[in-house]
Amino acid sequence: MTAQVPIKKACMGVECPNEAGSLQCPTCLKIGKTSTFCSQDCFKRSWVGYLVPLWKHKVVHKAASGGTLHNPFPSFKFTGSLRPVYPLSPKRPIPDHITKPPWSEDGDPKYKLIGRNKLTILDKAGQDAMRKVCRLSREVLDVIGREVRPGVTTDYLDEICHNACIERNAYPSPLNYRKFPKSVCTSVNEVICHGIPDSRVLLDGDIVNLDVSLYHGGYHGDINETYYVGRSALNKENIHLVETTRECLRLAIETVKPGLPFRNIGNTIEKYAKSQNCSVITTYCGHGINTLFHCAPDIPHYAKNKAVGVAKPGMTFTIEPMISAGSNRDKTWPDNWTSVTVDGARTAQFEHTLLVTDDGCDVLTARLEDSPGGKVEMPKGEDEQGTKDEEKAVNGVKVNGGESKD
């Protein structure tokens, strides 16, 4: 077959005279349109209307979908700069062959109180089932994490998650859980948790938490990580917050072994967070997980809590600290899900599902060798070497020829 001569295309950016590169609008791709741009910056300016008061590229989406992108809560007093962008995409279907949890139809978990408060010790079969679903949960998170970059919408990430779950014969546990409308939680910047994927585009400089949960073989797995969006996100403030949160989880996991009082986990987390001038969100906690999505024990992440019970071999639960660069108080958007800091300060979160063993614990959702993201060292300042360090990797993807960081 003879090679086809490439046809030059004009950039679709607002008032941009340049030739288009390979960057395409993800929303246009989903609706069968092709919109190419010369650079991320050009796409971003066109998307958020930096050059003109009208959001010109949005017209393409309106014409194709018949919907108008808008903020559904215009009178709500938002605490930060983030805004929801509706309408939400339709609920994604689940094939008939996928085993579904009780809430898949009506949103009701149907948990009996006695079962939800019971501390469960799993036998070997149950432990094996948890190992499998947690491994699948890690795989799905990694699939989505590789797609995090400026210019994609959180709804696009939800689509990636949903399809990855189906490919593994698993149900995305958040979908319709107490009427949550999507398959993954995407929490950007000041959002603490439970962010609903929508049509907002991730911008260079954002941080985003992806919270993934799968239901497979009658058991649930739960994991989340916070990712840097683009090179601009690799600044001292973001890195300090994200890496402090990552370390809070690591230190907490080190303490887990038979006999550990659950209340002590919060002491470890808050001690380190405070030493880094960060605060711990107190409204939400880790939880037991097995055949139930959320059950005993509760795992508070703050000090001097009153959690009951001690760790025993065969127990499975999550630790998932939410750390704020400012206030630890929260406020919920009118969607009744999205939780944000009251002062608009950014937050980060990391989560693992753990299995208590005879002499410690196994991290069932542990990172793989090729997992995207991973620890980032604090930049060395404004000198040349520090700049090079910042440019080495974003979410484990090589840029400017640097090495990715684990």
Is pLDDT at 295 greater than 80 in this prediction? Answer: yes
pLDDT, tens digit (0-9, with 9 covering 90-100), for 134-173: 999 999 999 999 999 999 999 999 999 999 999 999 999 9
Q: 196-227 as b/e, with b when 16 or more CB fall inside 10 Å?
A: bbbbbbbbbbbbbbbbbbbbbbebbbbbbbbb
How far are the Cα atoms of 157, 329, 355 from residue 264, in angstroms, in the given order? 35, 22, 17
Nearest to 157 by CA among 208, 215, 122: 208
The encoded tokens of residue 323 equal: 């750390």
Nearest to 349 by CA among 270, 242, 194: 242
Nearest to 181 by CA among 192, 168, 195: 195
Return d(Cα 146, Cα 160) in angstroms, integer: 10
Kindly state the average pLDDT of the residues 230-250.
98
Return d(Cα 327, Cα 11) in angstroms, integer: 43
Is pLDDT at 54 greater than 70 in this prediction? Answer: no
Give residue 42's pLDDT band: very low, low, confident or very high (50, 70, 90). confident
Is pLDDT at 66 greater than 50 in this prediction? Answer: no
pLDDT, tens digit (0-9, with 9 covering 90-100), for 329-349: 999 999 999 999 999 999 999
Give residue 393's pLDDT band: very low, low, confident or very high (50, 70, 90). low
Virtual torsion, Cα 378, 383, 389, 395, nearest 10 deg: 60
Give residue 36's pLDDT band: very low, low, confident or very high (50, 70, 90). confident
Give residue 391's pLDDT band: very low, low, confident or very high (50, 70, 90). very low
The encoded tokens of residue 302 equal: 């703050």
Kindly state the average pLDDT of the residues 33-45.
74
- How many CB atoms sit inside 10 A of residue 155's CB? 22
**Between 119 and 36, the higher pLDDT residue:** 119
Kindly state the average pLDDT of the residues 37-42.
81
User: Is residue 234 within 8 Å of residue 397, measured between CB atoms?
Assistant: no
- What pLDDT sits at residue 378? 82
pLDDT, tens digit (0-9, with 9 covering 90-100), for 173-213: 999 999 999 999 999 999 999 999 999 999 999 999 999 99
- What pLDDT sits at residue 57? 57
Return d(Cα 180, Cα 196) in angstroms, integer: 8
Is pLDDT at 50 greater than 80 in this prediction? Answer: no
Tell me which DSSP letter residue 102 carries: G
The encoded tokens of residue 162 equal: 């949903």
Calculate what percentage of the chain has a pLDDT beyond 70: 81
- Paired with 324 in beta bridges are 279, 347
Return d(Cα 301, Cα 324) in angstroms, integer: 12
Return d(Cα 292, Cα 101) in angstroms, integer: 9
Which residues are CB-neighbours of 250 under 8 A, at least 6 positions away?
none
What angle separates helix 236-254 from helix 263-275, to the nearest 10 degrees?
A: 150
Q: How many CA atoms lie within 13 A of 2 on its CB side?
A: 3
DSSP E strands, 235-335:
279-280, 286-288, 295-299, 316-319, 322-324, 330-332
Nearest to 223 by CA among 118, 145, 328: 145
Is pLDDT at 113 greater than 80 in this prediction? Answer: no
**Between 300 and 3, the higher pLDDT residue:** 300
Give residue 404's pLDDT band: very low, low, confident or very high (50, 70, 90). very low
Give residue 16's pLDDT band: very low, low, confident or very high (50, 70, 90). low
User: Is residue 62 within 8 Å of residue 171, measured between CB atoms?
Assistant: no
Give residue 44's pLDDT band: very low, low, confident or very high (50, 70, 90). confident
